[in-house]
Structure 1
Amino acid sequence: MSRAPERSARLYNKDLAPESATRTWKTLNLFNWWMAGWHSMAGYTMAIGLFAFGLSGWQAMIAFILGAVILYYLNNLTGVAGQRERVPFPVFARAAFGVFGANIPAVLRAVVAVFWYGIQTYLASAAVMILALKIAPGTAVLADDSFLGLSTLGWICFLVLSLLQWAVLLSGLETVRRLTDFAGPTIWIAVFALAVWMLARAGWTIDLSLVTTAEVPSGARQVLGVASAAFIVAAYMAGPSLNFADFTRNAPTEQSVRRGNALGLLINASLFGIVSVIIALSAHEVYGDETRDLVELVGAIDNVTVLLVTIIAVSVATAGVNIICNFVAPVYDLINIRPEWFTFRRAGTLVAVLAVVVTPWNLFSNPVIVNQLIGGIGAFMGPLFGIITVDYYLLRRKRLDTESLFSDRPEGIYYYRRGYNPRAIAALVVGGCISLLLTFVPAWSDAVPFAWPAGILVGGLAYALLNATAPSPVLPDDAPTAQHADPPAEEPATAG
């Protein structure tokens, strides 16, 4: 029996409702989601950045695989929770933070996502600009001027990509699913082509034991370096891991989520890390510099056909990762803040406009802004993850009253104090402070890679302790909950 008439207009619209979940995101679709999530220029840049920890090639590969394993287990938690409750992340967060307090994690996640959405779009547009200059040399005249830090050609490439991504999102999540089904496998064509081309230029020889830092670290420092690199890999997906429920709410079974994670993380992400290290070591052989990014490496390709295929693949893949990791999340977050006004289209349009307003090319060229602004807000992703998972799995034992997530009645189980849960907010402050200290205190610079897992542990522990002394209301074991019937078995996965 539906209780939909009791849903508050301040908390509900059809895009947030559990009945809007499509059940169409099966194992293969989630596998492709992870492929699209990893295969990007930013993902490659993160991978080659692991050499800064004083790692050899094979140690960097091990660190990447360990990071993928960490993400596998953590995303099984958020992914399965999303599949069970069939609501997007900001609605799911209402159980822990309160029906209005959930806007706090929603805003934090949205800000990080908007900045990275703009930066990823800019990186993809830089690759398209290289293609334009190669194919039509006459466009070089458009690359000589500057407006707000970007040339006319740069503006054209950036705005075209922005409009294309915006059009995909406005077509709905089913179009996003089809894009990831195409984008995920497509980038492997470019990555493998680039790997073969670089290996050929390196004479088919690379040194996996090569350490590119000035000094070879001691044994203990190497162990610390591998651990640090593994958590850097895991933290790279901190944001998408937090709002993974935005997509798994559409999965037909828990098994489809776990299988998609296994294929997309344990196998695909690990393989992507290995190939990225091979490309970087090849670049070291050819240029004496393993830190060259994909734009530079692709720009050096002298075969126009190969260049065309590679850049198209890279651009499509970057658009795919951008939409799933940085576009959908702030859209749902904005809807959650004002569901009576924001629709999927309105929220998507605002996100697209904001991503231009922040001039992401200026952000990307200023590491201080990226590290302090985006990194500072990003430091709260760990505590948020810890609080929400502790709330769902330990406190509530995987039992939510889904309808109460849409109720603003003072007697509602998730209303707490005027719609805010002081315990969750306090735990977020404690965990966030720890993450910020580890991130920005110079004396603790070696601890920076551990800021995210420390935030998870401290935030989750603080929340558990606060609830141990003054428990939040939970459903009794015999209380009815909203039931979402699953099909008896997963249907064959489709790619379209």
Structure 2
Amino acid sequence: MSQGQQDNSTQIKSKVSHLKSPDLFPIGIKKRTMTMTGFSILWVSMAVVLAAFAIGGDAIQQLPLHLVILATIAGAVGIGICMTLTGDIGIEHGLSFPVYLRAPFGTIGTHIPSVVRGLVASCWFGVNTFFGATGINAIMIMLFGLDQWFICFLVFAALQLFNTAFGIKAVERFANFAAPIIVLISGWMYMTLSEQAQLAGRDIWGWVETPALGTAAISAFALVAMATMGFWGTLAADMPSLSRFIQAPAYERNWFKRNKGQLIGSLIAMPIVHTFMVIVGAVSYAAVFISNPVDALLETTSNVFLLGILMMMIALGQWSTNTSSNLIPAATIFSNLGGPRIPFWAGVIFAGSIGVLVQPWNLFEIIVPALLIVGGILASIVGILVVDYYLIRKRRVNVPALYEEDGQYHYWHGFNLAGLLSWIAGGTVSLLFPNYSFLIGFFTGGTIYYVSAKYWWFKMYKQDELENPSDDAYLGMTVGRNWKIDNEVPINVKQQSN
């Protein structure tokens, strides 16, 4: 090392604790294998979710298709911005969502909101698996005359759990295969259903079942946007668990350049594909008054070969979505809850079991109201994360202390009351305004947290990064640091590049 050159690698030696599971350690630069293109393709596959059809089917009953599209794009871009903001936690420090959550909620308090997020993700796994299983069952009926959807459901769930247990690279490879085929088959679904609507005398761009007028139209528009934000609210909170695997340049202080690996996926790929899914659901309802195009096409299409391909792609679409946006985040959370005793693969099995036990075939019946409720609750967490990371800590984090039982993030018996009370307040207020739930939850939770943490909680529980706001000591990739835990050999990013 030349004279005056700074060594920003970090090594931490401490005793083993329940906070230290190898799956939850910060991800170093060598383990960040996902490229910008790979993440964008992954988003394409994740965004093909049949539950999104329900948003379109409900929306076109009150709004014309062009307003449905506009509201969906507004909600998708809005939640995409939230994702990129929280995603920098993974890019900068290599931290997962449940680990960073120890900062605004405490080393024990983190389990409460993170488990809620994990349960929501597990339920989504069940819903998507149910839809995928219906596609597989349709193939079995067409080929063999066997109608055994529950067996298809169980087998399909088991296959997904097996795939996810291999880790993030296996998921990325699978998504690369599934994504382009899914997009093509969705285009065919749109054209087929559009023709059905025209044959029924309904112009998809002008037809509305019961048009909303005046303030009712504004409320309907907001409901579509908020349902979309609630749809992806889990990933807005949990994006660090994925973004920490994305390649990022060391020593890059420009936020946009440092996060370019996730920007295209979250702000372009996801809004486009999700909006297209909503459009297909709307067109399906306009065609045969069924928002689920799978059922619609089974009723209106007689080509067995095309239907077989369609059902297979539907199963693949739900598979790729579940592994990336539901099973991986939920498994990471449950692994964090159990400490070193629960490895990642066990978290995957636990998440999948919950998804089966909640009976997702019944859960889907109330999907849109559920999105508004869950969206507000999760939005409060997202608001707290953004405020804690950007406005209070200014992206500086004492990462070693996140893994210490008696460190600065232990707070009062392991709880940060400022975070917990802000989350409860934000989530509760959002329930009073369901049509605007995500925005209400985000700003209420974030605002209350900023005031209570900055002027109350952190006055009592001092934070090293606030008392000594040093970039060199508390930033990660920006200063070329790979955070290391325990006795791992320290790695200097700058030396590796020379």
TM range (shorter): 0.7 to 0.9
In the alignment, structure 1 residue 213 sits paired with structure 2 residue 209: yes
Cα offset for 1:234? 1.6
2:87–2:240 contact (8 Å) kept in structure 1: yes
- Deviation track 1:293-337 (CA, whole Å, cap 9, x = no partner) reads 022023233112211211111110111111222211211111111
Cα offset for 1:158? 0.5
Aligned in 2, Cα 1:97/1:266: closer, same or farther, shift over 3 Å?
A: same
Cα offset for 1:201? 3.8
Measure, in 2, the Cα distance between the counterparts of 1:275 and 1:324: 18
Residue in structure 2 matched with residue 147 of structure 1 by the alignment = none
- Deviation track 1:77-119 (CA, whole Å, cap 9, x = no partner) reads 0112221110110001111111221111111111111122112
Matches within 5 A, 1:364-379: 364-365=364-365, 367=366, 379=376
Aligned in 2, Cα 1:421/1:50: closer, same or farther, shift over 3 Å?
A: same
Matches within 5 A, 1:322-341: 322-341=322-341
Aligned in 2, Cα 1:347/1:157: closer, same or farther, shift over 3 Å?
A: same
Q: Which moved more, 1:187-196 or 1:224-233?
A: 224-233
Aligned in 2, Cα 1:28/1:82: closer, same or farther, shift over 3 Å?
A: same
Measure, in 2, the Cα distance between the counterparts of 1:166 and 1:346: 10
Measure, in 2, the Cα distance between the counterparts of 1:357 and 1:235: 23
Residue in structure 1 matched with residue 484 of structure 2 by the alignment = none
Cα offset for 1:452? 1.8
Residue in structure 2 matched with residue 18 of structure 1 by the alignment = 26
Cα offset for 1:23? 1.1
Equivalent in 357, 379, 382 of residue 379 of structure 2: 382
The SS at the match of 1:399 is coil
Cα offset for 1:461? 0.6
Residue in structure 2 matched with residue 477 of structure 1 by the alignment = 469
Cα offset for 1:173? 1.2
Measure, in 2, the Cα distance between the counterparts of 1:217 and 1:19: 49
Cα offset for 1:186? 2.5
1:128–1:157 contact (8 Å) kept in structure 2: yes
The one-letter code of the counterpart of 1:24 is T
- Deviation track 1:252-303 (CA, whole Å, cap 9, x = no partner) reads 226474454334543552354246426633652x43x2x3302202323311
1:235–1:452 contact (8 Å) kept in structure 2: yes
Aligned in 2, Cα 1:44/1:371: closer, same or farther, shift over 3 Å?
A: closer
Measure, in 1, the Cα distance between the counterparts of 2:185 and 2:44: 13
- Deviation track 1:389-431 (CA, whole Å, cap 9, x = no partner) reads 100100000000111111112xx22121122111111111211
TM-score between the two structures when normalised by the length of structure 1: 0.85
Residue in structure 1 matched with residue 51 of structure 2 by the alignment = 42
In the alignment, structure 1 residue 316 sits paired with structure 2 residue 316: yes
Measure, in 2, the Cα distance between the counterparts of 1:159 and 1:275: 26
1:11–1:336 contact (8 Å) kept in structure 2: yes
Matches within 5 A, 1:227-306: 227-253=222-248, 255=257, 257-258=259-260, 260-270=262-272, 272-274=274-276, 276-277=278-279, 280-281=282-283, 284=286, 286-287=287-288, 289=289, 291-300=290-299, 301-306=301-306
1:114–1:327 contact (8 Å) kept in structure 2: yes
Residue in structure 2 matched with residue 444 of structure 1 by the alignment = none
Aligned in 2, Cα 1:346/1:83: closer, same or farther, shift over 3 Å?
A: same
Measure, in 1, the Cα distance between the counterparts of 2:58 and 2:15: 48
Measure, in 2, the Cα distance between the counterparts of 1:256 and 1:41: 33
Measure, in 2, the Cα distance between the counterparts of 1:395 and 1:7: 29
Residue in structure 1 matched with residue 396 of structure 2 by the alignment = 399
Residue in structure 2 matched with residue 150 of structure 1 by the alignment = none
- Deviation track 1:27-76 (CA, whole Å, cap 9, x = no partner) reads 11221222122112112222332224x21011111111111221221111
In the alignment, structure 1 residue 86 sits paired with structure 2 residue 81: no
Aligned length: 457
Matches within 5 A, 1:63-462: 63-137=71-145, 139=146, 143=147, 153-203=148-198, 207-214=203-210, 216-253=211-248, 255=257, 257-258=259-260, 260-270=262-272, 272-274=274-276, 276-277=278-279, 280-281=282-283, 284=286, 286-287=287-288, 289=289, 291-300=290-299, 301-365=301-365, 367=366, 379-409=376-406, 412-436=407-431, 438=432, 447-462=433-448
Measure, in 2, the Cα distance between the counterparts of 1:426 and 1:276: 35
2:53–2:291 contact (8 Å) kept in structure 1: no
Measure, in 2, the Cα distance between the counterparts of 1:349 and 1:407: 28
Aligned in 2, Cα 1:267/1:19: closer, same or farther, shift over 3 Å?
A: closer
Aligned in 2, Cα 1:255/1:128: closer, same or farther, shift over 3 Å?
A: farther
Aligned in 2, Cα 1:199/1:39: closer, same or farther, shift over 3 Å?
A: same
Residue in structure 1 matched with residue 487 of structure 2 by the alignment = none
Unaligned runs of 5+ in 2: 1-8, 249-255, 482-492
Cα offset for 1:376? 5.2
The one-letter code of the counterpart of 2:209 is T
1:75–1:261 contact (8 Å) kept in structure 2: no
Residue in structure 1 matched with residue 449 of structure 2 by the alignment = 463
Aligned in 2, Cα 1:364/1:433: closer, same or farther, shift over 3 Å?
A: same
The one-letter code of the counterpart of 1:483 is G
The one-letter code of the counterpart of 2:114 is A
The SS at the match of 1:352 is helix
Measure, in 2, the Cα distance between the counterparts of 1:198 and 1:273: 16
Measure, in 2, the Cα distance between the counterparts of 1:262 and 1:374: 25
